[in-house]
Amino acid sequence: MIYADQGFLPVSKEDMDYLGWDELDFLYICGDAYVDHPSFGHAIISRVLTAEGYRVGIVPQPDINQKGSITHMGAPRLGVLISAGNMDSMVNHYSVSKKRRTTDAYSPGGKMGLRPDRATIAYANLARRTFGKIPILIGGIEASLRRFAHYDYWQDGVRRSILDDSGADILMYGMGENSIREIARALEHGAEAKELRTVRGTCYMTKDISHLKSFVEIPSFDEVKEDKYQYALADRISHEEQDPIRGKTVVQKHGDRYLVQVPPSLPLSQKQLDSVYELPYTRTYHPMYEPMGGIPAIEEVQFSLNSVRGCFGACNFCALAFHQGRMIQARSNKSLLSEADTLIAHPGFKGYIHDVGGPTANFKHTACEIQKKRGTCKERQCLFPTPCKNLNADHSEYLELLRALRKKEGVKKVFVRSGIRFDYLLEDENDAFFTELVKHHVSGQLKVAPEHVSPNVLRYMGKPKKEVYDKFCSKFYDITKKLNKEQYLVPYLMSSHPGSTLSDAITLALYLKEHKLTPQQVQDFYPTPGTVSTCMFYTGIDPRTMKPVYVAKTPEEKAMQRALLQYKNPANYHLVLAALKQAGREDLIGHGPQCLLKPKYTERKGEQTHERKNSGRKSSVHKNKNRTEKRSGSIKGKRNQTRSGSHHRGR
């Protein structure tokens, strides 16, 4: 069938014929289904290229065992572009317990298994076998975060740079618009891929680095594979140099070749970023997926507005700063309001803009003016351990945008659902944004991410102190009360982060008990590629200080830490009991107000009769009493689950 007449890029020879194309300039192979929406990397890069006049065809989720799966539109003239998709393929496929996931939101009907493990490598190998010497360019989140030698959680070992493993010619890291434009122009003018050594935001492999005038060399693949101290050192240096203004070229030896990372791309200007989001996206998934149930991932973003890129929060467990950078790139309010008109005109729009934000919703400009000239600080983070004195905590532009969106005809409600950085919010002396956020932009619950409350764990996470979160909570509920609204905070929490001991997990459990919080979902720390915390997990070293850090690695301890955060769940009883005993906190087992567990026994006539452990025979009266207690406990549990599953998950 022909779909190009509906505005989509070609996925077949019939589409090419309809457009009058006899040949593609670039073939884009992607691990995600084809969704022509700016929340999907393949949509942005392909639209950027077509805006420059290049002819791009899309091959989504090809079968790596069949060459024909990528040849139906012919060999491309200039190169093959490859991305695993919006997620690292291994994260997409496996849970933190390394169990195979059952659904894939980026595939038709949510079906799992339509992309291979380590998709970037698999697709690159397929393209090389099929097309020979045609330039192969890899990018996307998987390639970006695996650009240096890196710890791979699923293999439990150090892997080479994905550029070396894939055999591709060039790796594009970060967002890629400027990189792909420059590469495309060079290839168009007859340059060979191996000659492209100065394109910002790219990596290449070479046997000779004599052409480099200034660079930083980090420990080699062989060194980081054998020596965890060297791994931590390489991680620290590579993160320090991820700045587009002050960052240097980084070199890492891989056998007899060198991986060379050219400094990051310069931030897009506001005008450039606006133009990227104003390209003619169809803003939905390709029609060929309709019989298969569509693409679930579109539901969260189809009626949302992406206003910013980058994050100067730079939490240690988040790879975003390593991928998008710490410098904020923001769209103009004019561009966002124009996009809102497009959403409103969509036949499926029901009056609700689901989100206005990005990695962190309330970052709408660079952290300070100094960054624009000198780049981000090498030795100092913007918010951790305390907000920098140069921080510009101003929400006025963001508030102006939200006000304008609320006034638009056809808009019933504008939600802010992407993360709010609460410590930054508190730095703003003007409460107008906080008040209007609570009044207009919360859908009953506001999700925030304190992650933990233990000072020890928060230090390793790079998160603000518990007292800051408590101050935010108090202010949120004060404003909510004044507005006579019933709204609650839902905290994201993480167990087993490097640095977290059983004592730290108990501290968090006691905090939850004190504040009557019953989290239904807890994220166990996931060592994904590219994060500082993953370096800690693998090496047992904090790369910021090069000092040892405790890491819970055994399945038993990780399970206990996770269970402590849901200590009320009867299924976790024995794990919590074991954790309290192992930590020497048996004082928390009992009937006192501070206790996390009640002992499993009943008092009867001054004697302790242990359930299911009596050596003697119970009377029928006693048995019936136990049955009654179990039944009422079950009913009570269901009631609590219902309360905590709705708005009572807050305070």
User: pLDDT digit string (tens) for 520-540?
Assistant: 778 999 999 999 999 999 999
112-152: pLDDT as tens digits: 999 999 999 999 999 999 999 999 999 999 999 999 999 99
Strand order in the sheet with 488-495: 445-451, 488-495, 523-524
Question: What is the rounded CA–CA span in Å between residue 488 and residue 430?
Answer: 22
* Structure confidence at residue 600 (pLDDT): 81
Q: Summarize the confidence of residues 385-392 as an average pLDDT.
A: 96
The H-assigned helical ranges of 441-550 are 455-461, 466-482, 502-514, 532-539
In the Cβ-directed half-sphere of 510, how many Cα atoms lie within 13 Å? 17
More reliable by pLDDT, 67 or 30:
30
153-177: pLDDT as tens digits: 999 999 999 999 999 999 999 999 9
Report whether pLDDT(615) > 80.
no
Q: Of 625, 431, 637, 629, which Cα lies nearest the Cα of 518?
A: 637
Fold classified for 303-443: Transcription Regulator spoIIAA (3.30.750)
Q: Summarize the confidence of residues 314-325 as an average pLDDT.
A: 94
The H-assigned helical ranges of 378-449 are 396-407, 422-427, 432-440
The H-assigned helical ranges of 311-395 are 320-323, 333-345, 370-374
* Distance, CA of 187 to chain centre: 33
Cα 495 to Cα 468, 505, 507, 563, distances in angstroms = 20, 7, 12, 9
* Structure confidence at residue 414 (pLDDT): 97
The per-residue pLDDT of the chain, averaged, comes to: 92
486-499: pLDDT as tens digits: 999 999 999 999 99
Q: What band does 601 get if pLDDT is binned at 50, 70 and 90?
A: low
Q: Summarize the confidence of residues 376-384 as an average pLDDT.
A: 94
Q: Summarize the confidence of residues 291-307 as an average pLDDT.
A: 96
Q: What band does 645 get if pLDDT is binned at 50, 70 and 90?
A: very low
The H or E element spanning position 143 is helix 140-145
Q: Summarize the confidence of residues 538-543 as an average pLDDT.
A: 98
Question: What is the rounded CA–CA span in Å between residue 56 and residue 128?
Answer: 19
Positive/negative CA dihedral, 49, 52, 53, 54: negative
Q: Summarize the confidence of residues 54-65 as an average pLDDT.
A: 97
* Structure confidence at residue 618 (pLDDT): 40
- Percent over 90 (pLDDT), the chain: 88
Q: Summarize the confidence of residues 487-512 as an average pLDDT.
A: 96
Per-domain residue ranges for the chain? 4-204+256-261, 303-443, 485-651
198-208: pLDDT as tens digits: 999 999 999 99
On whether the CB atoms of residues 339 and 276 are closer than 8 A, the answer is: no
Report whether pLDDT(649) > 70.
no
Report whether pLDDT(640) > 80.
no
Report whether pLDDT(609) > 60.
no
- Percent over 70 (pLDDT), the chain: 92
3-class DSSP state of 435: helix
The tokens of 190 are what?
A: 């007859």
Buried b (16+ CB within 10 A) or exposed e, 407-443: eeeebeebbbbbbbbbbbbbbbeeeebbebbbebbbe
Report whether pLDDT(36) > 70.
yes
3-class DSSP state of 171: strand
Report whether pLDDT(603) > 50.
no
The tokens of 504 are what?
A: 């730290």
* Structure confidence at residue 623 (pLDDT): 41
Supply the pTM of this predicted model. Answer: 0.90
72-92: pLDDT as tens digits: 999 999 999 999 999 999 999
Cα 497 to Cα 422, 524, 532, 561, 596, distances in angstroms = 21, 8, 11, 10, 22
- CATH among 3.40.50.2300, 3.20.20.80, 3.40.50.300, 3.40.120.10 for 4-204+256-261: 3.40.50.2300
